[in-house]
């Protein structure tokens, strides 16, 4: 499993907003402060807003802020909002892709590992990342 660049950027922006949650930031500010290309950031912010992780306000005093407290937003929430369901192997997500999936020891083991990764991503919130720094 490898996070996409978009998920990496989303984590970076969400952490920044969590560390500065009292203020609303414009996209251009987030791009500058987080080192994310502005053109790429627009789509990421739209997706996070659509998934109800960010509030988006238009206008001169508009911008973006978290919809919830940093201790309520998990890394899983952010990554899955951008990348979709997390799975190591296509067979885990769709067993019908392979005629061996019913008795495949590889699929069984990768599924257990996958569940551990998802569980860990759900265990960490933005506040945990803030405390780490």
Task: Give the residue numbers spanning the domain of 33.
Answer: 5-85+125-132
Domain at 54, CATH number: 1.10.10.10
- pLDDT tens for residues 76-109? 999 999 999 888 877 777 777 777 767 777 888 8
| pLDDT mean across residues, the chain | 91
Which residues pair with residue 38 across a beta bridge?
none
Does residue 119 fall inside a structural domain? no
pLDDT at 61: 77
| 110 occurs within a structural domain | no
Number of separate domains in the chain: 1
- Please report which residue ranges of the chain form alpha helices under DSSP H: 5-19, 27-34, 38-50, 75-83, 90-93, 105-123, 126-132
Give domain status of residue 90, yes or no.
no
CA distance 19 to 87: 29
Give 60's pLDDT tier (boundaries 50, 70, 90): confident
- pTM exceeds 0.85, yes or no: yes
Give pLDDT tens digits for 30-47: 999 999 999 899 999 999
């Amino acid at each position: 499993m490898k996070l996409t660049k978009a998920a990496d950027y989303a984590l970076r922006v969400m952490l920044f907003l969590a560390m500065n949650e009292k203020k609303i930031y414009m996209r251009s500010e987030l791009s500058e402060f987080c080192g994310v290309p502005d053109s790429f950031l627009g789509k990421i912010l739209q997706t996070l807003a659509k998934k109800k992780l960010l509030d988006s306000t238009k206008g001169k005093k508009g911008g973006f802020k978290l919809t919830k407290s940093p201790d309520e937003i998990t890394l899983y929430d952010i990554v899955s909002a951008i990348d979709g369901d997390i799975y190591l192997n296509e067979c885990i997500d769709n067993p019908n892709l392979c005629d061996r999936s019913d008795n495949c020891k590889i699929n069984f083991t990768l599924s257990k590992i996958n569940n551990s990764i998802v569980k860990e991503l759900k265990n960490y919130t933005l506040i945990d990342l803030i405390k780490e720094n």
